[in-house]
Amino acid sequence: METWPVTLPQVLLSDGYGEKANPYVVRTDMEVGPTKARRRVSSGVTDIQGRLVLTTAQVVILDNFYLNTVNCVDSFSWVHQRTKAASVYRFVEAPEYTHLEGKWNVSLSLEILY
C-alpha cells in the first residue's frame, strides 16, 4: 500500500478540519416499545475534511500522488490526524486548489477506511 508523501505536510491544518463517522447502526421504529437497533456493517468509513497550504512544487507532488500513485481511487496509509494512529485513507474527491499569496490553499475530502 502506498504512503502519504513525506515531502508534503504530515498534518492537516486545524482551521477547517472536520471529521464525521458514517452511521454504523440501523434503527427501526416499532409499533410498540423501544426502537430496535442493529449494526449495519462490520467495517465502515469516517469522512475527513481538511486543508493544507502548499508551495507550487508541493502541488505537483500532490497531483502526481493523487493521479498516478493512488490512481484517484486506491487507498494509502497516513497518520490519523486526531488520534495519531496509523490509518488507511482514500480520496473522496479530487483536491481543490485556490491561490493564496504565492502559495496554494488545498481542500481535501478524504475517508478513513476501517
CATH of the domain at 49: 2.40.30
- Domain range for 69 is 2-113
**Digit-coded pLDDT (tens) for 44-96:** 789 999 999 999 999 999 999 999 999 999 999 999 999 999 999 999 999 99
Q: Is 91 helix (H, G, I), strand (E, B) or coil?
A: strand
Q: How many domains does the chain have?
A: 1
Q: Which pLDDT belongs to residue 99?
A: 96
Q: Which pLDDT belongs to residue 67?
A: 98
Instruction: Of 96, 105, 103, give the one whose Cα is nearest residue 66.
Output: 96
pLDDT confidence tier of residue 28, bands split at 50, 70 and 90: confident
pLDDT confidence tier of residue 42, bands split at 50, 70 and 90: low
Whether 41 shows a pLDDT value over 70: the answer reads no
Distance CA 38, CA 106 (A): 38
Question: How far apart, in Å, are the Cα atoms of 101 and each of 16, 59, 77, 105, 106?
Answer: 19, 15, 31, 9, 13
The mean pLDDT value for 6-35 works out to 88
- Beta carbons of 87 and 112 less than 8 angstroms apart: yes
